[in-house]
Structure 1
């Protein structure tokens, strides 16, 4: 249980100060998002984190690089700086979907690689690792052209492991028949390990289709064992986008999630 980290998205209606304070009381880590941090102010949030002693396991998110625009690169440089200010070494990268009007996945993936190459020196100098997160293929058109852990590793391995890593997120990669060998291949590059469950039918808004731990079909503990075997010894973020959870009090959701984590992950 001392490896548990609450991704703030799981208790979305807590503001970032409330979430940090709850994690301090529970003696657990936290994964932060840029928008709620901005709402309270970057420096104020960083001060609250330092005062609380809470470990920030990641900042979400950078990415959306497939447009190839200067604006996207500049925003990612700001995200790197924000991660460093908040005291986390891991910036989660959701790389972006197909550019408007394009059907060329290969070109979009190479645009991501070129952008990562441009951002990598700034990340390295800031002590922040760019953590490439593969998303389920249903998000390839609009959110992430990187769909498997092996694809993420093909990209990450162009760069030092201390500068570019990968995210192992059970919700997005549980279906992949090569996932176990890919996790082993990711040794030394796992920047973040995130857990959520998959249940069907998915809601109309698939972004909020993540299920509470134990309510779906994913063998979560097998994933945790695989990540451990690949050398990952960091905190495990629980990241659940779910309207029913968001409608409940944050303290109730956290207590339930801690219990489910003990039952299905730890």
Structure 2
């Protein structure tokens, strides 16, 4: 493993066509020390086998994605969501990661009550926090770009995520800085500093903002350096805030998924060396 890749993690969403074993093997071939794992990859092989695959390869799991979707108004749906999040917490602990990424959910069908949805998220994080703490897992709140507020995440800024996290110990509730979602925020630098001062930065995820937007904006991510995001500046802010953990590359894009997996990993490693690693 070359020193300049010592903090680079392959998020399995980036190589969507690969199984978990293929993603782990690809990371090993490229000299990466870590993988960020999505739950669908775990479910394909079962939790015990997933943990064994990663451990046998000598990799660390930088995060598990995802928990969340906590905005339901219906009691039965809310109970089901809490139960699923408890399962996700157990999965994270079994895989050996402390970080469970939380995409909190959008508006329930037919609702326009954004304030109420955010209140329910806060209440349900409160319900989950003791269970997470008991398993040594941190709930990592992910603010998503406002374009996703209706259907995916009623948390849109890092400041909002930090406000929600504040009542809880930093080792129990943290935040992720995902460049795709927060690069536009004029308050980003002070909020990253705030997160660092509180010890709440649990993950740093990188990919670029690509135009024109795809029909599904979720698929408008691209390789670092292909779009509009100032990675040196944001990375410096994250480093100055004291973050020393892994840097995950997480890309949702059909052309990236269709490329050979080893080519994708090679590209993301080269872009990381150029645009991110020198500023950590």
What RMSD in Å do the two structures reach over aligned CA positions? Answer: 0.8
Q: Which residue of structure 1 aligns with residue 273 of structure 2?
A: 262
| Correspondence for 1:117 | 126
Structure 2 CA distance for aligned equivalents of residues 6 and 39 of structure 1: 18
Distance (Å, rounded) in 1 between the aligned partners of 2:179 and 2:233: 10
Where does residue 22 of structure 2 map in the other structure?
Answer: 18
1:172 aligned partner = 181
The equivalent residue for 1:149 is 158
State the SS of the aligned residue for 2:112: coil
Pairing 1:95–2:104 present: yes
Partner of residue 186 from structure 1, selected from 186, 195, 198: 195
Q: CA deviation at 1:24?
A: 2.5
Moved more, 128-137 or 25-34: 25-34
Counterpart contact for 2:9–2:32, Cα < 8 Å? no
Structure 1: tracts of 5 or more residues without a match: none
- Alignment correspondent of 1:58: 63
Pick one of 219, 231, 241 that aligns with 1:230.
Answer: 241
**Which secondary structure state, in structure 2, belongs to the residue aligned with residue 91 of structure 1?**
strand
Q: Report if aligned partners of 2:195, 2:241 keep a CA contact under 8 Å in 1.
A: yes
Query: Counterpart in 1 of 2:8?
Result: 4
Which residue in 2 is equivalent to 1:127? Answer: 136
User: TM-score of the superposition, structure 2-length normalised?
Assistant: 0.94
1:252 Cα deviation after fit: 0.7
Which secondary structure does the structure 1 equivalent of 2:244 belong to?
coil
Partners of 1:211 and 1:24 in 2: how far apart? 23
Q: How far 1:192 sits from its partner (Å)?
A: 0.7
TM-score, scaled to structure 1? 0.98
Instruction: Give the ranges of 4+ consecutive aligned residues of structure 1 lying more than 2 Å apart after TM superposition.
Output: none
Provide the rounded CA distance (Å) in 2 between the counterparts of 1:190 and 1:24: 26
What is the distance in 1 between the residues matched to 2:60 and 2:28?
9
Structure 2 unaligned residues grouped into runs of 5+: none
Q: Does 1:140 align with 2:149?
A: yes
Preserved contact between residue 102 and residue 142 of structure 2 (Cα < 8 Å): yes
**Which whole-Å CA distance do the structure 1 matches of 2:265 and 2:83 have between them?**
35
Per the TM alignment, residue 27 of structure 1 is displaced from its structure 2 partner at its CA by 3.4
Per the alignment, residue 28 of structure 1 pairs with 33
